[in-house]
Structure 1
Amino acid sequence: MIVRPRPSFLQLLFITRGSIVPDIIGQIIAAAVVAALVVLAHKNWPHVVPVFNGAPFALVGIALSIFLGFRNNACYDRWWEARRQWGEMIAVARNLARQTLVLDGTPDAPSRMRILYLQIAFARSLARSLRRSAGDFSGVAAFLDPDDIASVEASRNRPDAILRLMGREFALLKARGAISDILFQVLDQSAGRLALVQAACERIHNTPVPFAYTLLLHRTAYIFCFLLPFGFAESLGWGTPFAAALTAYAFFGLDALSMHLEEPFEDNPNGLALAAMSETIEINLREALGETDLPPLPQPKDFLLM
């Protein structure tokens, strides 16, 4: 996720970190080259390469802009909902630290540490599963009891397996009389909220924007940008390649940005900072346990927070 102060006008023209241009530079150059070839051919062989009225291109361009805007809004909604869900998880984690304070200073204090460590493991495991890096289990295992590592690692849904361990710990505390029925219900509701966060993230992760809609916009954008020079070669002359490149930047840029936002959990500059949010949960909960040997708060590197 790009985190940086608002750039000045001159900086805005030359920023590359977080820009969509590197992803679409090929399409921009191709559109400009095609436009230049059309202008050159029309000037030398006007009877072979005719031009058309530019009015239909304006109408198609307006319609295409509206469709791209709709897709961009739909993809941004996915990105924002994913961020809201992770914000919910951070809030639940902090609530768990407060709700389990009743165990602090009692013989059941180790259970509080186990619950909060399970929360840290849950956040780390969910982040890895959403980023398709589930094979990296070391960061999760560090917060699990040795007896639980094998069962969680073998599970097909590791975050859910960790939640079951958390629920089991709540049940054991209630059976020992360490917590009341009311506190058990409160803790169980917190675990239920974590399960809802996981389900919502999995829904976003496993349900893409309909492919037919994406394909339609891709095809229309390519056809429009490569036919555009035939409508303006006569009126714009050698300014047509610049107009074609600018149009390609707008249309292909919006399309590429939508693809980034469509997958908010991917490891790209516009993806959510899952690792940073997981580390934030770890720092908050370990501090709540009284630990002092804590890692520093996540900071962006080269304006990039992952």
Structure 2
Amino acid sequence: MIVRPRPHWIRLLFVRRGSLIHRIFWQQLFVFLLSCAVFVVHGELFHWKVTLTAAPFSLMGVALAIFLGFRINASYDRYWEARKLWGAVLIATRNLARQALTLTARGDGVRPFVLGLVAFATAMRNQLRRQPCDTGLEGLLPEDVRKRLTGTRSAPNLILVWLGQWLATQREAGQLSPILAQHMEAGLDDLSAALGGCERIANTPLPFTYSVILHRSSYFYCMLLPFGLVDSIGVMTPLVVAFVSYTFFALEALSDEIEEPFGTMPNDLALNAIVAGIDASLREMLGETPPPAPQPDADFVLR
């Protein structure tokens, strides 16, 4: 995820990071060179004059813009829902850690449960990014529990089982009343619901045909546009077509990027920072010094 202060409006016109230029450069170059060729031959194709005007492109442009807007909204809905689900994970882990520290016997016996909540968030990130399930779990879980996670398909779900067993042990030992244990189980249910919601987003992409139609329509529109403009604006045709194609290609690339919000691309969710924030807040609740907060790299990206 790109994290940076908003630059001055003049610098914003020329900023490269976040403009998606690196993803659409070759498409832009192709359309620009095609527009230059159309201008040189003055709209002729194999000695046949392509008689197109700007009128049909105005109608098609409006329809394409509306279609592209639906695509952007659908992708952003997925992105924003994923962010809200991770916000729910942050709230639920803090609540459970506070309840474990205040409603059960104090001491080191509570620390494994609180670190287990951090392990859940870490394993959830690993699963959504299709990383090895034990990445970053060192020191957060008992060694026997961590070994059981190796090769499993849903490590965060197994961690929830272990957290539930910890609550059952505290209840049986008389350290936690049945009513309070049931209340804390509801917190684990919230974590399970957030995990399921993120899995739904990760495992259910937008229909492929939707992307194909939009992709083809954008390219055909931008490839035919020079023939409709060359007679009216002449030498400015390549520049105008380049600007219009940048808008369509960049929006399509952005919608494709945020459609899968759990990846490591610049506009995806900063899951590493979110998990680090959960880790820091829970360790502070334990009275420990949290590790330094992750900082954006030289390109202002915090993944």
Normalising to structure 1: TM-score of the pair? Answer: 0.94
Q: Is the CA contact 1:85–1:200 (under 8 Å) kept in the aligned structure 2?
A: yes
Measured after TM superposition, the shift of residue 131 of structure 1 is: 1.1
Separation in structure 1 between the aligned mates of residue 294 and residue 202 of structure 2, nearest angstrom: 24
Q: Is the CA contact 1:23–1:256 (under 8 Å) kept in the aligned structure 2?
A: yes
TM alignment of 1:46-195, pairs within 5 A: 48-102=48-102, 106=106, 109-134=107-132, 137-195=134-192
Residue type of the alignment partner of 1:237: G
Q: Secondary structure at the match of 2:42?
A: helix
Separation in structure 2 between the aligned mates of residue 280 and residue 43 of structure 1, nearest angstrom: 58
Q: Secondary structure at the match of 1:141?
A: coil
Is the counterpart of residue 296 in structure 1 residue 292 in structure 2? yes
Q: Is the CA contact 1:121–1:143 (under 8 Å) kept in the aligned structure 2?
A: yes
Separation in structure 2 between the aligned mates of residue 177 and residue 285 of structure 1, nearest angstrom: 25
Separation in structure 2 between the aligned mates of residue 223 and residue 244 of structure 1, nearest angstrom: 12
Q: Is the CA contact 1:117–1:144 (under 8 Å) kept in the aligned structure 2?
A: yes
Measured after TM superposition, the shift of residue 155 of structure 1 is: 2.1
TM alignment of 1:204-215, pairs within 5 A: 204-215=201-212
Structure 1 regions of 5+ residues with no counterpart? none
Separation in structure 2 between the aligned mates of residue 44 and residue 157 of structure 1, nearest angstrom: 60
Separation in structure 1 between the aligned mates of residue 26 and residue 157 of structure 2, nearest angstrom: 43
Q: Is the CA contact 1:41–1:49 (under 8 Å) kept in the aligned structure 2?
A: no
- Seen in structure 2, the aligned counterparts of structure 1 residues 276 and 37 have a Cα distance that, compared at 3 Å, is same
Measured after TM superposition, the shift of residue 42 of structure 1 is: 2.1
Q: Is the CA contact 1:51–1:234 (under 8 Å) kept in the aligned structure 2?
A: no
- Seen in structure 2, the aligned counterparts of structure 1 residues 18 and 247 have a Cα distance that, compared at 3 Å, is same
Q: Secondary structure at the match of 2:181?
A: helix
Separation in structure 2 between the aligned mates of residue 217 and residue 154 of structure 1, nearest angstrom: 39
Q: Secondary structure at the match of 1:140?
A: coil
Measured after TM superposition, the shift of residue 105 of structure 1 is: 5.5
Separation in structure 1 between the aligned mates of residue 284 and residue 169 of structure 2, nearest angstrom: 25
Equivalent position of 2:244 in the other structure? 247
Provide the identity percentage.
42
Q: Is the CA contact 2:218–2:248 (under 8 Å) kept in the aligned structure 1?
A: yes
Q: Is the CA contact 1:103–1:112 (under 8 Å) kept in the aligned structure 2?
A: no
Deviations 1:164-194 (A, max 9, x none): 1001111111111110112101110010000
Separation in structure 2 between the aligned mates of residue 43 and residue 203 of structure 1, nearest angstrom: 49
Q: Is the CA contact 1:131–1:265 (under 8 Å) kept in the aligned structure 2?
A: yes
Q: Of residues 243, 254, 279 in structure 2, which corresponds to 1:257?
A: 254
TM alignment of 1:26-65, pairs within 5 A: 26-42=26-42, 48-65=48-65
Report which stretch shifted further, 77-86 or 94-103: 94-103
Residue type of the alignment partner of 2:293: L
Residue type of the alignment partner of 2:5: P
Q: Is the CA contact 2:123–2:135 (under 8 Å) kept in the aligned structure 1?
A: no
Structure 2 regions of 5+ residues with no counterpart? none
Separation in structure 1 between the aligned mates of residue 44 and residue 79 of structure 2, nearest angstrom: 50
Q: Is the CA contact 2:86–2:194 (under 8 Å) kept in the aligned structure 1?
A: yes
Report which stretch shifted further, 296-305 or 185-194: 296-305
Report which stretch shifted further, 39-48 or 51-60: 39-48
Give the length in aligned residue pairs: 302
Deviations 1:108-144 (A, max 9, x none): x333111111111111111111112125x24113211
Q: Secondary structure at the match of 2:176?
A: coil
- Seen in structure 2, the aligned counterparts of structure 1 residues 286 and 234 have a Cα distance that, compared at 3 Å, is same
Superposition RMSD on alpha carbons, in Å?
Answer: 1.7
Equivalent position of 2:24 in the other structure? 24
